[in-house]
Structure 1
Amino acid sequence: MWLLLVLFLPVVQGSSALVAVSDAVSGPARGSLTVQCRYEPGWETYSKWWCRGAEWKDCHILVQTDGSEQEVKSDRTSIRDDQKSLTFTVTMEELRWNDADTYWCGIERSGTDLGVEVQVTINPVTAQCHYGPGWEPYVKSWCPDADLNSCAIVVLTTGSRLRKNELSINQRKHTFSMAMWGE
């Protein structure tokens, strides 16, 4: 028992230098989310990073600072270190359903980097459409583009039957609602 406690203690102490404000965050499909990670004094000029992957050893770094407060952007992800508040912030934009995964806030150092796990989930976007009386038996569709001529339909129903994503129809209220997870 004592041996287990002695072996566990260094791991806990090593990880307390870096903490995520929340260990689970979510954002809407096609929207954005922000993650904040706090660190103890002394780590201000170290490089901070954000990586993706359930296994620490196989984690793929998506964006990384150079040890300054300069914002760094890569693809749909950015990172900025506020050294006065001892916090770095990661922003993920244009979220897609397959962005849901395990991510890590990290600080680069010699030996093993500091890291803390963050779970990211993506919430569906819900839209509700109204139609007039008499249109109940007709096909309902959802198109995210403004130009109907070039629209790629993401939901198509016949009556109340679902073709893609999640759809509900209330014929009494003349509405149909759709939950979409993005692409």
Structure 2
Amino acid sequence: PVSSSLYGSRFAAAGLGSSITHQCFYSPTPANRHDRKYWCKVAPNGVCYTIISSSSYASSEYRGRVALGDSPQNGTFTVTMTGLRGSDAGTYRCGIGSTNEGLYVSLNLTVLPDATMSRPTQLIRGELHGSVTVLCPSGDTQGDKKRFWCKVGKSSCSLIATSDGYVGWRYQGRILITPQESSGAFRVLINDLKKEDSGLYLCGTRGLRGQDSTQEVVLQVGTASALPRRPKFLSGAVGGSLSLQCHHDPEGTYEKKYLCRWEPGSCLVLLDHEGFVLESYRGRIHMSSSDPERGTYTVVLRQLREEDEGWYWCGARSGHTELTAPLKLLIHKG
């Protein structure tokens, strides 16, 4: 049986005479890797007629201007159509299975008089309970537009987080949209990954006149994870102290290891391994130990206050990638 996770763009636009390259992403299970891959076009009668398949079939109408390439080890297959005609507009399916009615995702193709450029879909793989960093390129360098991250559904994109502090309830404590860099790019950090996080997403900037610049991202969360499920909640008493143990990959090299205080829309760094301590926390927070060989460091927070209750992130930065993990402190009166 094929696995039910198959993702791909829902809409594409290209110019007359130009070409499109469409990627379909699937879970690389043994069944999916070896099964037939196909690309078909839906006719007015509702039947999806095969244009090309991995079984060496190609429709005579499209021969010479369509190609299908499968990369089973990556869980992707790619369809390229060249010399686009007005009659190529319509609904297509990329799918897996012996018939064209099995597992598929639909694409609506618009053929325009002049070409529009679209960015290729990004594929991000994460591990269950782990974290991912998504880089969102943006055409906007003004930095005053709202940045967003949403999950593509059948008819709309459900908003998950925005740069002005909105975070959906399922993502409390586990998502952050970083400030824009000088290039206009920004990052989306997500941790405590769950199986249901797999899917197709959009990230981008939104001005007063709607979406300006978007990037499609397919997130695949592997179910077999080497990462243990770590406790997410710690409780302490007012006036007492707490030890927070943070973990990172012992094989990795990190420029910065830190602890930050998560709020919707920001994560304020409280201290890092190079000795920085936020002024308002001086005297009551310190990194008590660091064991790079075991991939751990420990932060001690003393003289606990009621307002210390909330979400914190352990973080380790390596280039553009941030390894993050959430912890929630619960503070009770002594």
Name the CA distance, whole Å, in 2 between partners of 1:64 and 1:18.
Answer: 23
TM-score calculated relative to the size of structure 2: 0.31
Residue 254 of structure 2 contacts residue 318 of structure 2 at CA under 8 Å; is this kept in 1?
no
Q: Distance in 1 between matches of 2:230 and 2:126?
A: 19
Deviations 1:12-40 (A, max 9, x none): 37627987842111111000001112222
Pairing 1:18-167 to 2, within 5 Å after superposition: 21-43=230-252, 46-55=255-264, 58-66=266-274, 75=282, 76-79=284-287, 80-125=289-334
Deviation digits for residues 60-87 of structure 1 (CA, Å, limit 9, x no counterpart): 0000013xxxx77651211232123221
TM normalised by structure 1 equals 0.55
Q: Does 1:12 align with 2:101?
A: no
Question: What count of residue pairs does the alignment treat as equivalent?
Answer: 120
Distance, in Å, in 1 between the alignment partners of 2:295 and 2:226 is 11
The correspondence for 2:7, drawn from 3, 24, 27, is 3
Q: CA deviation at 1:123?
A: 1.7
Is the alpha carbon distance of 1:95 and 1:86 closer, same or farther for their aligned partners in structure 2, counting shifts above 3 Å?
Answer: same
Report the alpha carbon displacement of residue 43 of structure 1 after superposing the two structures with TM.
2.7
Distance verdict in 2 for CA 1:60–1:85, change over 3 Å: same
Equivalent position amino acid for 2:315 in 1: G
C-alpha offsets along residues 110-149 of structure 1, whole Å, 9 cap, x if unaligned?
1131111111110211xxxxxxxxxxxxxxxxxxxxxxxx
Give the aligned partner of residue 150 of structure 2: none
Q: Quote the RMSD (CA, aligned, Å).
A: 3.1
* Higher RCO (CA < 8 A, seq sep 6+): 1
Q: Is the 8 A contact 1:48 1:81 kept in 2?
A: no
Rate the CA distance shift 1:81–1:20 in 2: closer, same or farther, 3 A: farther
Note if contact 1:22-1:36 (Cα within 8 Å) is conserved in structure 2: no
Work out which of the two has the higher radius of gyration on C-alpha atoms and give 1 or 2: 2
Aligned-pair identity in percent equals: 28
Find the aligned partners of 1:124 and 1:92 in 2 and give their Cα distance. Answer: 16
List alignment gaps of at least 5 residues for structure 1: 126-183
2:126 is paired with a residue whose SS is: helix
Unpaired runs of at least 5, structure 2: 9-25, 28-121, 132-224
